[in-house]
Structure formats: C-alpha cells, structure tokens
Amino acid sequence: MKLFTAVQILLAPLALGAAVTKVEKKVSYDGYRAFRISTHNDAAAVSKKIAGLDFVPFNLDTKDHMDLAVAPKDVATFEALGLETSILNKDLGADIAEEAKFAPYETTTIGTAAVPAISWFNSYHAYADHQTFLNDLQGAFPANSELISAGTSGGGRPLYGIHIWGSGGKGSKPAVYFHGTVHAREWISTMVVEYLTYQLLTQYSTNTTVKAIVDSYDFYILPIINPDGFVYTQTTNRLWRKNRLTRSGTSCVGTDMNRNWPYNWALTGGASTDPCSETYKGVAAGDTAEIRALVALTTTIRAAQGIKLFIDWHSYGQYILTPFGYSCTARPTNQARQTTLSSGLAARIALSYGTRFTYGPSCSTLYATTGSSPDYMHAVATAEFAWTIELRPSSGTSNGFVLAASSILPAAIEQWQGMLYLLPTM
C-alpha cells in the first residue's frame, strides 16, 4: 500500500494522456422509456420477443421481471408486443439531465481546517471533485487518518481511499473495509460511502458511539474503485457498468470487476466469457489492473490486522447479500451469525424511513456470481463478514441507477443508522 499526498492525488488524472485515444460522442437517453416486464420464470421467451429492439437492460436477475429502457424509435413497437408491462420512467434522458446538475463544491471550517460542507450530499459530483472532497476531509483530521491508494486503474487513475483509526493508534485494530463504485453507473454508492466516511471523521470527537466504533476498528475506505468507468459515465455513457479495459481480438470494451476476483473464477454459470457482455469475467482471474491492485491492498490489510467486515456498496434493489455467490448451497461456517446481523441491519435501516432491505445468501437470494468480491474476501482474505449492499431504489420502482439527488441524503442516513447498529454489534 502506498501513501499519497493530497497534491499527488489531485494531479494524478492529468497524467492520463496515453489512455485517452478518441473522443466519443455522448450517448443520449432522451426519450428512452423505462419499463418493467413480468417474466413469470420465462425470461427467455420475453428476450426472444424483444430481440431486435433497441433497449438497455437494467437488471441481471430476470426470474420475476425484466427492467429495461427502450429507445424512443422502438417504444411504439415495444408497446404493441402485448407484454405484461408497467412504466418505470417516461423519459430517462430527462432524469439524467436533472441528475447532472452538480452543485458547486463548498467547504466549511472545523477549527482552522477546510472541511467539505454537508451540502455535498445534496447533489452528485464530477470525478475531480470527489478527489478534492476526500483530500479536504482527510486534511481536516490528520491525527487519525491518512490518504491511501491501492495503485492505479488501467487508465492510470489512482485507486484512492482513506484509512481512519482511533485511540489505539494506526493499524492496531481489525479492519472494516469498504469499496464503492465498482460498477461505474451506481453513483449512489459513491455518495453513501463518502457520507459514512464523513460521519466517522466529523463525529469522532463529539459522539461517544462513533468514538467507540472508530476506537475499535481501522477503517479502509475506497469510494471509487472503478474510476475509469465512473469518468466514462460522466463524459460519455451514464449507464456504463464495467471498467474500460480494451483487449485484443474484440472491439468490445470493459471487464466486470465483480466477476474478476481470483476465487472460484473458473467456475461456469456466474459470469460471461463474452467480452461484449455486461458480466464479462476477463481472460484469467484477476487480469485487470484494478483487481490486481485491490488484491494486493487486501492481502496487506489481512496480514497486518485481519478483516472483520468488508462491504461492497452497489445499487440497486435494496439487498444485504451474504456469501456465497458461486454456489447456492455452500454456506459460510458462521452462517447463523451472518443471518442474525444482516437481519438486524435490515431492521435498523428500516427505522429511518421505512426502507425495506431483503437479506440472505447472495446466490440463493439474487443470482449466481463467480469472481465476486465478497466470495474472495470471505474465503481467501478470511473476512469474518463480507457482504454486498445494494442501495436504493428498490427493484420495483424508478430508473434504477439514476436516483434523484434528493434521495442521496435519505439513502445515506439510513445506511449510517444501519452502521451504528452493525459496527458495535458484530
């Protein structure tokens, strides 16, 4: 693990010349209409009917329903198919335009240091501002935090993050380890992970519960582990999921980093071998720059302190998913404890706004995945708990990945309340 100064992290994106090959036209979703189609356990039949239409699929678990956005030119044809549908959103482009109204970056002061203002959480933000946010936040709390970087992405961007510790001193406690934005389009995960970081640091000296939590664990938090994909969602295609790795022999770009971790990667059924698929697993386990760097960081943390809790923050669907993804029957040896804690977490999350989170083992609750991070973290990095949290919205509403900015704070507050239960209880 390398430590970076604020200046180095800020300047890093300027050194990207080699990765930028051509300027692509921004993808427009204006007039795209989002639908939910009931599939009644026969998604193949639905897929056959809509083949040939221009649409963007949203969900990977299509047993019950398929959510998708249909291009304006095909909406009438789609509606004439007579499928059992409901409209999720009339104009995806309009919501994307609304969501792109980023508020200017503002700071306030704590003592003499500039800290990002809480208004940060009123809108989404440009990639460069996310780096400034973390640099400024860390800069205000130098006594118990440091900036970290796991390394660099395929496009040369830093896999930056923050390490926070308490009264026991740096590196003295088991680790709580968070990853955000592995899937580029899941913008709410960036904001929620930043909010949790913000609360841990700004409340440490005033809130006894927070002090006890930070004194018990070393936090390693990386809000954007897929920076190349994230930047691409802001410059070119809001609904991009994978990283931006190009490979020989295909014009399709990107590997799904949540299918690339080196644990049971070779099993079939939980990922795609097609480079054009949204769940493309790569050619070999861990053959992306990001996963190689994150494996190294994880190995270091594990060796130094051990990992108590890992959470990979995603959207959407409102799920708390425990291992395993590779098998629907395999269970961790501490399954009973995993169930108690994930059910307790769901209950605590619901207390804030009534938001319902479904919990359970990931394969049997949602679908099979191979090479996903929680399987690796639990089985290889021996994290006691290694979960996926799929944030708002629920799978039954709205536009999925495009969540209105007015929902950022509620989505973050309910998770913070959840953490105030989970971290002292586990």
Residue 183 touches Zn ion, criterion: CB under 5 A: yes
* Rounded CA separation 236/27 (Å): 6
> Which residues have a Cβ under 8 Å from the Cβ of 285 and sit 6 or more positions away?
260, 261, 262, 263, 265, 266, 371
* 390 among known catalytic residues: yes
Tokens of 349: 């999350």
What does DSSP assign to residue 405?
G
Task: Please give the structure tokens belonging to residue 375.
Answer: 């399987």
Q: Which is nearer to ligand 0X9, 68 or 368 (CB)?
A: 368
Which position among 291, 366, 383, 426 is part of the footprint of ligand 0X9 (CB under 6 A)?
366
The interface region with ligand 0X9, picked from 62-70, 289-297, 303-311, 358-366 by CB under 6 A, is 358-366
Binding span for Zn ion by CB under 5 A among 66-74, 80-88, 307-315, 316-324: 307-315
- Our CB check for Zn ion shows the closer of 55 and 187 to be 187
| Site of tokens 């929620």 | 192
- With CB under 6 A as the contact rule, the residue among 325, 371, 393, 418 that binds ligand 0X9 is 325
Task: Please report whether residue 179 would count as binding ligand 0X9 according to CB under 6 A.
Answer: no
| Interface characters, 296-315, with ligand 0X9 (x: CB under 6 A) | ------------------x-
C-beta separation of 166 from 216 below 8 A: yes
Q: What is the DSSP string of 294-312?
A: HHHHHHHHHHHT-EEEEEE
Residue 362: contacted member of Zn ion, ligand 0X9, none (CB under 5 to 8 Å, by partner type): ligand 0X9
Q: Report the side by side order of strands in the sheet with 85-89.
A: 55-57, 65-70, 33-38, 85-89
Binders in 12-71 for ligand 0X9, by CB under 6 A: 60
d(CA 261, CA 288): 9
Q: Could you say which of ligand 0X9, Zn ion, none residue 388 binds, taking C-beta under 5 to 8 angstroms by partner kind?
A: ligand 0X9
Beta-carbon contacts of 377 under 8 Å, excluding residues fewer than 6 positions away, are 177, 298, 307, 310, 383, 386
**Distance of alpha carbon 214 from alpha carbon 124, whole angstroms:** 27
The span of 6-14, 105-113, 280-288, 365-373 binding ligand 0X9 (CB under 6 A) equals 365-373
Residue 389 burial class via C-beta count within 10 angstroms: exposed 0-12, middle 13-18, buried 19 and up = buried
Q: Which of Zn ion, ligand 0X9, none does residue 372 bind to, with CB < 5 to 8 Å depending on kind?
A: ligand 0X9
Q: Which of 130, 244, 259, 314 binds Zn ion (CB under 5 A)?
A: 314
Residue number, 36 or 163, with CB nearest to ligand 0X9: 36
- Work out what residue 386 binds among Zn ion, ligand 0X9, none; the CB cut-off runs from 5 to 8 Å by kind: none
Closest to ligand 0X9 by CB, 171 or 269: 269
Q: Which does 366 bind (CB under 5 to 8 A by kind): Zn ion, ligand 0X9, none?
A: ligand 0X9
Among the listed residues 50, 289, 321, 412, the single contact to ligand 0X9 using CB under 6 A? 321
Residues between 215 and 234 with contacts to ligand 0X9, criterion CB under 6 A: none
**Can you read off the two tokens belonging to residue 414?**
């309910």
State the Cα–Cα distance between residues 157 and 146, nearest whole angstrom: 19
Task: Decide: is 370 part of the binding site for ligand 0X9 (CB under 6 A).
Answer: no
Written as six digits, the tokens of 310 are 């890992």
- Find out whether 386 and 310 touch, Cβ atoms under 8 Å: yes
Task: Return the residue of 338, 362, 395, 398 that touches ligand 0X9, per CB under 6 A.
Answer: 362
SS3 21: coil
Count of helices and strands (H, E) across the chain:
13, 15
Partner that binds at residue 152, options ligand 0X9, Zn ion, none, CB closer than 5 to 8 Å by kind: none
Asked whether the beta carbons of 375 and 261 are under 8 A apart, the reply is yes
Active-site amino acid positions: 390
Residues found near ligand 0X9 in the complex (CB under 6 A): 60, 183, 186, 258, 314, 321, 325, 362-363, 366-369, 372, 388, 390
Residues found near Zn ion in the complex (CB under 5 A): 183, 186, 314
